[in-house]
Amino acid sequence: MNKLPPVITVDGPSGSGKGTLCLALANKFSWQLLNSGAIYRVIALAVLQYNIDIKSEKKLVLLADSLNIRFNLIKNKLIVMLEGNDISNDILSEVIGNIASLIAKYPKVRKALLIKQRLFRIKPGLIADGRDMGTIVFPDAIAKIFLHASLKERALRRMKQLHKNGFNVKLSTIIDDIKKRDDCDRNRLFAPLIPAKNAFILDSTSLSFEKVIEQVLAYINKKI
């Protein structure tokens, strides 16, 4: 039997720095990158484009099954492709993020996406970014990281990201949106946002990115 390619998971709430960390790890190891949050955002975008009833779990499952989603890593940037089109900027808005959180509450949608997410596990290995990567999607990962930060710090990071991509938003609005998203993620019945039992938990609030990557790499080196 062929041994499955190794996986390193990075879980945590919105704005904790998962995306930046996972990009750095994927580049360092030259591994495949999976951003599971982007998948839910793609579905949210499709819900708006195709006028899908957000309350119909059956329709959402059919939509999740039918979408052709791909990720490309180009010059330290993750390019999200839907049906061959670059939608990376289209899925960044807070509206899309809030719809994505509502979609993620449906157990059948999450189960349908398990197959899609596990298909990203190809040689030489995978860096998996999400909220249940180490607990549900890849429980056999060789290294599991849970990254978090204070609410205010996460909101500031998110605001900077949105401003950089042309979205004009207020900090107070982002704080409210993140609070709601945190509540949805942490209190859903299926695959809630919690650290894996054997995860390396790191608070990035007051850490520079250099310090974050330094501590994470030290942990990974011990594990592998």
Which residue in this structure is represented by tokens 């080196």? 221
Q: What is the DSSP string of 165-192?
A: TT----HHHHHHHHHHHHHHHHH-SSS-
66 appears as a binding residue in the annotation? no
19 appears as a binding residue in the annotation? yes
20 appears as a binding residue in the annotation? yes
Query: By percentage, how much of the chain surpasses pLDDT 70?
Result: 99
Q: What is the pTM of this model?
A: 0.90
150 appears as a binding residue in the annotation? no
18 appears as a binding residue in the annotation? yes
17 appears as a binding residue in the annotation? yes
173 appears as a binding residue in the annotation? no
Contacts of residue 61, Cβ cutoff 8 Å, sequence gap at least 6: 106, 108, 109, 112
- Give the residues across from 81 on adjacent strands: 70, 86
According to the model, what pLDDT value does residue 166 have?
Answer: 85
Q: What is the pLDDT of residues 140-153, one digit of tens each?
A: 999 999 999 999 99
**Domain locations in the chain as residue ranges:** 7-222
Judge contact between 163 and 44, C-beta under 8 A. no
CATH number for the segment(s) 7-222: 3.40.50.300
Whether residue 123 has pLDDT greater than 60: yes
Tokens of 34: 């999976």
16 appears as a binding residue in the annotation? yes
Per-residue confidence band for 1, with pLDDT thresholds at 50, 70 and 90: very low
